[in-house]
Amino acid sequence: MTEGFIFAKYHIIERFIVIAKSSQPRRTPYWFTEYGLPKASTPTFYKFTSERNTAMDEKFMRAALTRAKRAAALGELPVGAVIVKDNRVIASGYNKRELKQNALLHAEMTAIDRACKKLGSWRLTDCDMYVTLEPCPMCAGAAINARLGHVYFGAYDDKSGCVHSRANLLGMNLLSHTIPYEGGIMEAECSALIKDFFANLRKRPKRRAATEDKNEV
Protein backbone atom coordinates (compact mmCIF):
# COMPACT_ATOMS: atom_id res chain seq x y z
CA MET A 1 0.00 0.00 0.00
CA THR A 2 2.85 2.34 0.87
CA GLU A 3 4.55 1.88 -2.52
CA GLY A 4 1.27 2.40 -4.36
CA PHE A 5 0.60 5.58 -2.38
CA ILE A 6 4.07 6.99 -3.15
CA PHE A 7 3.71 6.16 -6.86
CA ALA A 8 0.33 7.87 -7.03
CA LYS A 9 1.66 10.89 -5.16
CA TYR A 10 4.58 11.45 -7.53
CA HIS A 11 2.37 10.77 -10.55
CA ILE A 12 0.00 13.54 -9.44
CA ILE A 13 2.91 15.95 -8.83
CA GLU A 14 4.40 15.14 -12.27
CA ARG A 15 1.07 15.80 -13.98
CA PHE A 16 0.75 19.11 -12.11
CA ILE A 17 4.18 20.23 -13.32
CA VAL A 18 3.33 19.35 -16.94
CA ILE A 19 0.05 21.28 -16.78
CA ALA A 20 1.76 24.28 -15.16
CA LYS A 21 4.44 24.40 -17.84
CA SER A 22 1.94 24.10 -20.69
CA SER A 23 -0.03 27.06 -19.33
CA GLN A 24 2.98 29.39 -19.45
CA PRO A 25 3.59 31.54 -22.56
CA ARG A 26 6.21 29.98 -24.81
CA ARG A 27 9.29 31.97 -25.71
CA THR A 28 11.69 31.35 -28.55
CA PRO A 29 14.95 30.07 -27.00
CA TYR A 30 17.99 32.10 -27.97
CA TRP A 31 19.70 29.00 -29.38
CA PHE A 32 16.94 28.77 -32.01
CA THR A 33 17.88 32.18 -33.35
CA GLU A 34 20.56 33.63 -35.54
CA TYR A 35 22.37 36.56 -33.92
CA GLY A 36 19.68 36.56 -31.25
CA LEU A 37 16.86 37.28 -33.71
CA PRO A 38 13.91 34.87 -34.00
CA LYS A 39 13.59 34.28 -37.73
CA ALA A 40 9.82 33.95 -37.51
CA SER A 41 9.56 37.29 -35.72
CA THR A 42 11.67 39.47 -37.99
CA PRO A 43 8.85 41.92 -38.89
CA THR A 44 8.27 42.53 -35.18
CA PHE A 45 11.93 42.98 -34.33
CA TYR A 46 12.93 45.16 -37.27
CA LYS A 47 11.08 48.42 -36.76
CA PHE A 48 11.68 50.91 -39.52
CA THR A 49 10.06 54.31 -39.62
CA SER A 50 7.84 55.47 -42.48
CA GLU A 51 6.95 58.75 -44.17
CA ARG A 52 10.29 60.19 -43.15
CA ASN A 53 11.89 63.46 -44.17
CA THR A 54 14.96 62.42 -46.15
CA ALA A 55 16.34 65.96 -46.35
CA MET A 56 16.09 66.32 -42.57
CA ASP A 57 17.80 62.95 -42.07
CA GLU A 58 20.71 64.03 -44.25
CA LYS A 59 20.96 67.35 -42.43
CA PHE A 60 21.41 65.71 -39.05
CA MET A 61 23.62 62.92 -40.38
CA ARG A 62 25.90 65.57 -41.87
CA ALA A 63 26.06 67.15 -38.42
CA ALA A 64 27.09 63.76 -37.04
CA LEU A 65 29.69 63.41 -39.83
CA THR A 66 31.17 66.77 -38.82
CA ARG A 67 31.71 65.38 -35.31
CA ALA A 68 33.14 62.17 -36.76
CA LYS A 69 35.75 64.20 -38.66
CA ARG A 70 36.78 65.83 -35.39
CA ALA A 71 37.41 62.36 -34.00
CA ALA A 72 39.52 61.48 -37.04
CA ALA A 73 41.61 64.61 -36.51
CA LEU A 74 42.37 63.37 -32.99
CA GLY A 75 43.45 59.98 -34.27
CA GLU A 76 40.21 58.36 -33.10
CA LEU A 77 37.92 56.05 -35.04
CA PRO A 78 35.75 58.61 -36.88
CA VAL A 79 32.32 58.13 -35.36
CA GLY A 80 30.06 61.05 -34.50
CA ALA A 81 26.59 61.33 -33.01
CA VAL A 82 24.01 64.03 -32.42
CA ILE A 83 20.86 64.07 -30.31
CA VAL A 84 17.92 65.90 -31.90
CA LYS A 85 14.85 67.31 -30.18
CA ASP A 86 12.18 69.38 -31.96
CA ASN A 87 14.30 69.38 -35.14
CA ARG A 88 17.26 70.92 -33.35
CA VAL A 89 20.59 69.45 -32.26
CA ILE A 90 20.75 69.68 -28.47
CA ALA A 91 23.85 67.54 -27.85
CA SER A 92 26.61 65.78 -29.73
CA GLY A 93 29.64 63.60 -29.25
CA TYR A 94 32.45 61.81 -31.01
CA ASN A 95 34.88 59.05 -30.13
CA LYS A 96 37.45 59.92 -27.47
CA ARG A 97 38.31 56.43 -26.25
CA GLU A 98 41.99 56.60 -27.19
CA LEU A 99 42.38 60.25 -26.21
CA LYS A 100 40.99 59.72 -22.72
CA GLN A 101 41.82 56.01 -22.41
CA ASN A 102 38.24 55.41 -21.37
CA ALA A 103 36.26 52.50 -22.82
CA LEU A 104 32.97 54.34 -22.22
CA LEU A 105 33.72 57.36 -24.39
CA HIS A 106 32.02 56.32 -27.60
CA ALA A 107 30.28 59.02 -29.60
CA GLU A 108 26.79 57.87 -28.60
CA MET A 109 27.61 57.68 -24.90
CA THR A 110 28.95 61.23 -24.87
CA ALA A 111 25.97 62.57 -26.82
CA ILE A 112 23.45 60.84 -24.54
CA ASP A 113 25.26 62.07 -21.43
CA ARG A 114 25.23 65.65 -22.68
CA ALA A 115 21.58 65.47 -23.72
CA CYS A 116 20.56 64.22 -20.26
CA LYS A 117 22.46 67.09 -18.62
CA LYS A 118 20.97 69.58 -21.08
CA LEU A 119 17.38 68.50 -20.40
CA GLY A 120 17.89 67.69 -16.73
CA SER A 121 16.41 64.22 -17.22
CA TRP A 122 17.61 60.72 -17.98
CA ARG A 123 14.54 60.18 -20.17
CA LEU A 124 15.10 61.22 -23.79
CA THR A 125 11.76 59.94 -25.07
CA ASP A 126 11.17 62.94 -27.34
CA CYS A 127 14.69 62.83 -28.77
CA ASP A 128 16.24 61.06 -31.75
CA MET A 129 19.85 60.02 -32.21
CA TYR A 130 21.81 60.18 -35.46
CA VAL A 131 25.14 58.35 -35.50
CA THR A 132 27.53 57.66 -38.36
CA LEU A 133 28.16 54.01 -37.42
CA GLU A 134 25.76 51.31 -36.23
CA PRO A 135 25.83 51.31 -32.40
CA CYS A 136 27.69 48.62 -30.48
CA PRO A 137 26.07 46.64 -27.60
CA MET A 138 27.03 49.27 -25.02
CA CYS A 139 25.66 52.19 -27.01
CA ALA A 140 22.51 50.36 -28.06
CA GLY A 141 21.93 49.57 -24.40
CA ALA A 142 22.44 53.20 -23.45
CA ALA A 143 19.88 54.25 -26.08
CA ILE A 144 17.36 51.85 -24.55
CA ASN A 145 18.07 53.04 -21.01
CA ALA A 146 17.64 56.65 -22.15
CA ARG A 147 14.30 55.71 -23.78
CA LEU A 148 15.30 57.41 -27.04
CA GLY A 149 12.49 57.88 -29.54
CA HIS A 150 14.38 56.83 -32.69
CA VAL A 151 17.89 55.83 -33.74
CA TYR A 152 19.27 56.55 -37.21
CA PHE A 153 22.71 55.36 -38.30
CA GLY A 154 24.87 55.59 -41.39
CA ALA A 155 27.32 52.73 -41.95
CA TYR A 156 26.59 49.15 -40.90
CA ASP A 157 29.03 47.45 -38.54
CA ASP A 158 29.28 43.75 -39.41
CA LYS A 159 31.70 43.15 -36.56
CA SER A 160 29.96 44.62 -33.52
CA GLY A 161 26.78 46.40 -34.66
CA CYS A 162 23.90 45.51 -32.35
CA VAL A 163 21.03 47.30 -34.04
CA HIS A 164 20.91 45.24 -37.22
CA SER A 165 24.12 43.42 -38.16
CA ARG A 166 24.92 41.15 -35.20
CA ALA A 167 21.76 41.55 -33.13
CA ASN A 168 18.83 43.89 -32.72
CA LEU A 169 18.84 45.02 -29.13
CA LEU A 170 16.54 47.93 -29.94
CA GLY A 171 13.74 45.55 -30.91
CA MET A 172 13.99 43.05 -28.07
CA ASN A 173 11.71 45.02 -25.74
CA LEU A 174 14.40 45.27 -23.11
CA LEU A 175 13.23 47.34 -20.13
CA SER A 176 9.79 47.27 -21.80
CA HIS A 177 11.05 49.69 -24.45
CA THR A 178 11.67 49.28 -28.17
CA ILE A 179 13.24 51.88 -30.44
CA PRO A 180 12.34 52.26 -34.12
CA TYR A 181 15.48 52.61 -36.21
CA GLU A 182 16.72 53.20 -39.73
CA GLY A 183 20.14 52.26 -41.09
CA GLY A 184 22.06 53.20 -44.20
CA ILE A 185 21.47 56.95 -44.07
CA MET A 186 24.31 58.50 -46.09
CA GLU A 187 25.96 55.10 -45.83
CA ALA A 188 28.51 55.75 -48.59
CA GLU A 189 29.84 58.91 -46.93
CA CYS A 190 29.94 57.36 -43.46
CA SER A 191 31.67 54.20 -44.68
CA ALA A 192 34.18 56.14 -46.78
CA LEU A 193 35.23 58.19 -43.76
CA ILE A 194 36.02 55.05 -41.77
CA LYS A 195 37.79 53.33 -44.67
CA ASP A 196 39.92 56.41 -45.35
CA PHE A 197 40.82 56.61 -41.68
CA PHE A 198 42.14 53.05 -41.58
CA ALA A 199 43.91 53.46 -44.91
CA ASN A 200 45.74 56.54 -43.62
CA LEU A 201 46.42 54.88 -40.28
CA ARG A 202 48.36 52.12 -41.99
CA LYS A 203 50.53 54.66 -43.78
CA ARG A 204 51.66 56.77 -40.84
CA PRO A 205 52.73 56.36 -37.22
CA LYS A 206 50.12 56.81 -34.52
CA ARG A 207 49.66 60.47 -33.65
CA ARG A 208 47.06 63.08 -32.82
CA ALA A 209 46.97 66.24 -34.90
CA ALA A 210 44.45 68.33 -32.97
CA THR A 211 42.91 68.97 -29.57
CA GLU A 212 39.31 68.48 -28.57
CA ASP A 213 36.87 71.37 -28.65
CA LYS A 214 35.66 71.98 -25.09
CA ASN A 215 33.05 74.52 -26.20
CA GLU A 216 31.05 72.26 -28.52
CA VAL A 217 27.36 71.54 -27.96
Question: Do 161 and 134 form a contact (C-beta atoms < 8 A)?
Answer: yes
Rounded Cα–Cα distance for residues 148 and 110 (Å):
14
Structural element, H or E, at residue 110: helix 107-119
Q: For residue 133, give the nearest of 155, 165, 162, 163 by alpha carbon.
A: 155
- Angle between helix 107-119 and 137-145 (nearest 10): 20
The one catalytic residue in 108, 182, 187, 189 is 108
Rounded Cα–Cα distance for residues 164 and 183 (Å):
8
Question: Do 65 and 194 form a contact (C-beta atoms < 8 A)?
Answer: no
Residue 76 among the catalytic residues:
no
Q: For residue 83, give the nearest of 69, 99, 67, 97 by alpha carbon.
A: 67
Cβ-count burial of 119 within 10 angstroms (0-12 exposed, 13-18 middle, 19+ buried)? middle
Rounded Cα–Cα distance for residues 94 and 13 (Å):
59
Rounded Cα–Cα distance for residues 195 and 132 (Å):
13
The residues carrying an active-site annotation are 108
